[in-house]
């Protein structure tokens, strides 16, 4: 088959790497791709928001299947555009992608179907939001309704911080239209867990769980990023909690989407909190996680293309999906200044050494400039170590990361420590 992947980050590199292993894949394209993706796919210089150009390219190149990576084009209806052009595309259509594109839609869906999540209220009026906020216990969580590159959430431990976030979103326009409506919700405590699941409408097939590290600095300090590192499996999380999440959250949500006339087909990603009162939903995403994908797909033993085709056909219930027992740890190397503004074009050295050390090096924000690989994004590389357990995978990831450098490179030194501190 001839496949076009949409996107150009670490997630898409991992997807391309995984699909490239399939004997059924005859040709892989990626738009726009990056310097690492170019090693496994032909990169096509079309931006992810140029739907008509992408569809024209897919027709000319006789593409059989499109795999959409990122959230923005899904929320804007890219799958509807490909389908209208007669090109099968894996991912939710615009109506189903709203589960990520609007936190208000998501929270109201969960409330209507009694699916566990933090208590909340939604606001479009600043004064009303402020009055409600002032009555809430601290910490309190303020969220922009729409997409904000993973940065639209403030967990505020003081009222000043919460009010500042609310003002920024509703009056200051820091997230543009995404912040004109907000959700104010209860703060939940506990370990976080990400479960990504293939969904074909009714049938949900979970992937192995992973844990992300959102804040930029060690010890979960500093502002939230798109994700600074992940690991899988979660040896300190009882498998019964994964079952509970499926039974009480992910499967009921897939059924709710069908009942609402918005059947979800693609990868549904549940961000979960393991609270003392049970597993609760933090958020839903309508796509694979980044950098969760970088630790989940290396553990997938089944051909990814077979699973995608089954999800497209509505026959996911008939497919066996197997996972390796090995552990994977992904450490993100980010640019100086990230998650704020950052420079581009800095030369990256040591990529070959990191790969020679046995790591998978997924490129997130890189470009080729005069034959040299340079930085071109906030998150630059996802360096994945694999091993018998988290400790081994983690030391391999950090050994490989030590071989890589570029000016101003930031990485967290405590990825996966939560699993080790829990004593397994």
Q: Which does 222 bind (CB under 5 to 8 A by kind): ligand AMP, ligand GLY, none?
A: none
CB 415 within 8 A of CB 344: no
Nearest CB to ligand AMP, comparing residues 214 and 394: 214
Partner from ligand AMP, ligand GLY, none contacting 290, C-beta within 5 to 8 A by type: ligand GLY
Q: Residues of 7-29 as b/e, b for ≥16 C-beta within 10 angstroms? A: bbbbbbbbbbbbbeebeebeebb
Give CA–CA dist 339/359, Å, rounded.
Answer: 25
| Rounded-to-integer distance, Cα 372 and Cα 376, Å | 12
Residue closer to ligand AMP by CB (options 157, 259) is 157
Distance CA 342, CA 379 (A): 10
Q: How far apart are CA 343 and CA 407, in angstroms?
A: 10
Position of tokens 């007669």?
86
Q: Which of 110, 267 has the CB closer to ligand GLY?
A: 267
- Tell me the C-alpha distance between 182 and 142, whole Å: 7
b or e along 164-183 (b: 16 or more beta carbons within 10 Å of the residue's beta carbon)? ebbebbbeeebbeebbbbbb
Kindly tell me which residue out of 227, 229, 339, 385 binds ligand GLY, with binding defined by CB under 6 A.
Answer: 227
If you search the block for the tokens 């079309």, which residue do you land on?
A: 46
**Site membership for ligand GLY, residue 7 (CB under 6 A):** no
Nearer to ligand GLY, 290 or 303 (CB): 290
Nearest-approach distance from CB 226 to ligand GLY, in angstroms: 6
Q: Would strands 65-68 and 2-7 be described as parallel, antiparallel, or unpaired?
A: parallel
> Which residues does 172 contact at the CB level (< 8 Å), separation at least 6?
none
Contact 11, 295 (CB under 8 A): no
Shortest spacing between CB 273 and ligand AMP, in angstroms:
6
φ, ψ for residue 267 (rounded to 5)? -110, 120
User: Which of the listed partners (ligand AMP, ligand GLY, none) does 289 bind, with a CB threshold of 5 to 8 Å by partner kind?
Assistant: ligand GLY
- Which of ligand AMP, ligand GLY, none binds 285 (CB below 5-8 Å, type-dependent)? ligand GLY
354 touches which of ligand GLY, ligand AMP, none (CB within 5 to 8 A by kind)?
none
Q: Which is nearer to ligand GLY, 73 or 227 (CB)?
A: 227
212 or 303, CB closer to ligand GLY? Answer: 212
Which residue's Cβ lies closest to ligand GLY? 227
How are the residues of the chain apportioned to helix, strand and coil, as percentages rounded to the nearest 5? Answer: 35, 30, 35
Choice between 227 and 298, CB closer to ligand GLY: 227
Bridging pattern class, strands 229-232 and 327-334: antiparallel
- Please compute Rg for the chain using Cα positions: 20
Nearest-approach distance from CB 225 to ligand GLY, in angstroms: 9
For ligand AMP, which is the closer residue by CB, 150 or 252?
Answer: 150
Site string for ligand GLY, 96-135 (x = CB under 6 A): ----------------------------------------
**413: which 2 tokens?**
């030194």
Please list every residue from 279 through 308 that binds ligand GLY, using CB under 6 A. 285, 289-290, 292
3 by DSSP, 3-state: which? strand
For the bound state, the minimum distance from the C-beta of residue 369 to ligand GLY, rounded and expressed in Å, comes to 27
331 binds, among ligand GLY, ligand AMP, none (CB under 5 to 8 A by kind): none
Q: Residue 292 binds what, of ligand AMP, ligand GLY, none (CB under 5 to 8 Å, by partner type)?
A: ligand GLY
Q: Tell me how long the chain is.
A: 424
Which C-beta is closer to ligand AMP: that of 225 or that of 373? 225
| Residues near ligand AMP (CB under 6 A) | 118, 141, 150, 153, 155, 185-188, 192, 214, 224, 271, 282-283
* Least distance in angstroms from the C-beta of 45 to ligand AMP: 30
Give the burial string for 379-411 (b: 16+ CB within 10 Å, else e): bbbbbbbbbeebbebbebbbbbbebbebeebbb
Query: Residue 185's binding partner, choosing from ligand AMP, ligand GLY, none, with beta-carbon cut-off 5 to 8 A by kind?
Result: ligand AMP
Residue 150 makes contact with ligand GLY by CB under 6 A: yes
Q: Which two tokens mark 73?
A: 């084009």
Q: Distance between CA atoms of 201 and 262, rounded to whole angstroms?
A: 9
Nearer to ligand GLY, 93 or 212 (CB): 212
Q: Which positions lie near ligand GLY, rule CB under 6 A?
A: 150, 212, 227, 285, 289-290, 292
């Amino acid at each position: 088959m001839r496949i076009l992947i949409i996107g150009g980050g670490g997630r898409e590199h991992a997807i391309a790497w995984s699909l490239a292993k399939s004997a059924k894949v005859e040709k892989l394209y990626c738009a726009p791709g990056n310097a690492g993706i170019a090693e496994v796919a032909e990169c096509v210089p079309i931006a992810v928001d140029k739907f008509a150009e992408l569809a024209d390219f897919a027709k000319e190149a006789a593409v059989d299947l499109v795999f959409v990576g990122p959230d923005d084009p899904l929320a804007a209806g890219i799958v509807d555009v490909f389908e209208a052009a007669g090109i099968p595309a894996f991912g939710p259509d615009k109506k189903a992608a709203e589960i990520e594109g609007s936190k208000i839609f998501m929270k109201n869906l969960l409330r209507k179907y009694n699916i566990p999540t933090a208590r909340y209220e939604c606001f479009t009026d600043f004064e009303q939001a402020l009055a409600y906020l002032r009555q809430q216990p601290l910490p309190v969580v303020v969220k922009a309704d729409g997409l904000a590159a993973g940065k639209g959430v403030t967990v505020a431990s003081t009222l000043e911080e919460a009010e500042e976030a609310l003002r920024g979103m509703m009056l200051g326009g820091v997230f543009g239209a995404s912040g004109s409506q907000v959700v104010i919700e209860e703060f939940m405590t506990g370990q976080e867990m990400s479960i990504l699941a293939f969904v074909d409408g009714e049938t949900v097939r979970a992937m192995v769980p992973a844990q992300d590290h959102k804040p930029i600095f060690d010890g979960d300090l500093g502002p939230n990023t798109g994700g600074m590192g992940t690991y899988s499996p979660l040896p300190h999380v009882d498998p019964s909690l994964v079952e509970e999440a499926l039974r009480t959250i992910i499967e009921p949500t897939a059924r709710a989407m069908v009942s609402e006339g918005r059947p979800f087909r693609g990868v549904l990603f549940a961000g979960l909190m393991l609270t003392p009162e049970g597993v609760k939903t933090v958020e839903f995403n309508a796509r694979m996680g980044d950098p969760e994908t970088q630790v989940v797909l290396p553990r997938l033993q089944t051909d990814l293309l077979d699973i995608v085709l089954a999800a497209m056909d509505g026959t996911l219930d008939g497919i066996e999906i197997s996972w390796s027992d090995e552990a994977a740890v992904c450490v993100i190397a980010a640019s100086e200044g990230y998650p704020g503004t950052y420079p581009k074009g800095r030369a990256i050295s040591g990529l070959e050494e990191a790969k020679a050390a046995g790591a998978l090096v997924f490129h997130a924000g890189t470009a080729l400039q005069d034959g040299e690989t340079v930085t071109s994004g906030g998150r630059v590389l996802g360096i994945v170590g694999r091993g018998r357990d988290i400790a081994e995978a983690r030391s391999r990831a950090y050994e490989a990361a030590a071989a890589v450098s570029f000016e101003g490179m930031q990485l967290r030194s405590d990825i996966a420590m939560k699993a080790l501190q829990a004593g397994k």
